[in-house]
Amino acid sequence: MLASYSVQYGDILTHIRVNYMHQNDKKQRVAEAALDYVDTRQVIGIGSGSTVEIFINLLDKIRSKVDACVSSSMKTTQLLDENGFRVIELREAGTIPIYIDGADEANKQKQLIKGGGGALTREKIVASSSEKFICIIDDSKLVSKLGKFPLPIEVISMAQSKIALEMVKKGARPVLRDNFITDNNNIILDVHGMDINEPMLLEREINDLPGVVTNGLFSLRPADVLLISDGNEVNNI
């Protein structure tokens, strides 16, 4: 009985390792594909997340094309610094030619849910200041309808209960993200079970609530290019 359990447990661990390696390979391929979108001596907006971290580690291949970077999070800034890239403030850059970021979910209209890493506000600011937004994902993130991934909302702490109640009224289940404070010193409510039939309308409605900094829907400013890796090839939507 014990031997049988050990074999089953070993099989599960092997499956997890293989799946992780396959997922990483997808991220590597789509991050490499994004390098082709960077023109000579550009200021690049850089998002956050595991796929973006791979992209940053690949940037050395096109170092001569990168004039400077505008970062969307403290963690991204640290990684860019470690890799020897100049990081400037958005006010210095003005309009950014290109912004590279990932997503937690994306549909074929290039509308996104972002904020799993908690940097949604700064990501949305940089995206809205960019001429071209390149979103890089693996095929597990592509959905027909947004909302399976909990919708993050950055909230001023004073408004937590008020915003949570508003989400309950919409038939959703808000959950405070434990032990997490954003780079802007706010909290995040992760909203489960939100019925997102009209992303643009919902994005506006939530953002209009007093106490909301922003929510993780990127539908008013969607991606311009959606790069999707299935492990074998990278497709462009």
138 and 177 housed in the same domain: no
Phi, psi of 98 (to 5 degrees): -150, 140
Same domain, 114 and 179: no
pLDDT value at position 16?
46
Q: Are residues 37 and 119 in the same domain?
A: yes
Q: Does residue 39 belong to any structural domain of this protein? A: yes
Give the CATH number for residue 206: 3.30.70.260
Statement: residue 199 has pLDDT above 50 = yes
Which residues participate in catalysis according to the annotation? Answer: 123
Instruction: Tell me the pLDDT tens digit for each residue of 85-107.
Output: 999 999 999 999 999 999 999 99
Give the Cβ contact number of residue 157 at 10 Å. 12
Contact 30, 55 (CB under 8 A): no
Q: Does residue 138 sit in the same domain as residue 210?
A: no
In a domain, 3, yes or no: no
Q: Does residue 39 share a domain with residue 89? A: yes
pLDDT tens-digit map of 10-62: 554 444 444 655 789 999 999 999 999 999 889 999 999 999 999 999 999 99
92 and 178 fall within a common domain: no
Q: Are residues 133 and 51 in the same domain?
A: yes
Residues 54 and 132 in one domain: yes
Q: Does some domain include residue 6?
A: no
Question: Would you say residue 56 lies in a domain?
Answer: yes
Provide the phi-psi class of 169: left if phi over 0, else alpha when psi is between -120 and 50, else beta: alpha
Structure token digits, residue 8:
């089953």
Q: Would you place residue 2 in the very low, low, confident or very high pLDDT band (cuts 50, 70, 90)?
A: low
Phi, psi of 49 (to 5 degrees): 110, 170
Q: Which residues contact 155 (CB under 8 A, 6 or more apart)?
A: 163, 186, 187, 188, 189, 211, 212, 213
* Mean of pLDDT values over 197-216: 98
Contact 56, 46 (CB under 8 A): yes
* 40 inside domain: yes
What band does 222 get if pLDDT is binned at 50, 70 and 90?
very high
Q: Total structural domains in the chain? A: 2
Which tens digit of pLDDT belongs to each residue from 158-181? Answer: 999 999 999 999 999 999 999 999
Task: Say which CATH number the domain at 111 has.
Answer: 3.40.50.1360
Structural domain includes residue 61: yes
Q: Is residue 205 a part of any domain in this protein?
A: yes
The answer to whether the CB of 70 falls within 8 A of the CB of 25 is: no
What's the pTM value of the predicted model, to 2 decimals? 0.90
Q: Which domain holds residue 164?
A: 151-218
- 105-160 pLDDT, tens digit per residue, is 999 999 999 999 999 999 999 999 999 999 999 999 999 999 999 999 999 999 99
Instruction: Note whether 32 and 110 are same-domain residues.
Output: yes
- Kindly state whether residues 56 and 105 are assigned to the same domain: yes
Q: Quote the pLDDT of residue 23.
A: 85
Average pLDDT over residues 52-79: 97
Question: What is the per-residue pLDDT for 13?
Answer: 44
In a domain, 227, yes or no: yes
Residues 114 and 177 occupy one common structural domain: no
pLDDT band at 4 (very low <50, low <70, confident <90, very high): low
Same domain, residue pair 228 and 196: no
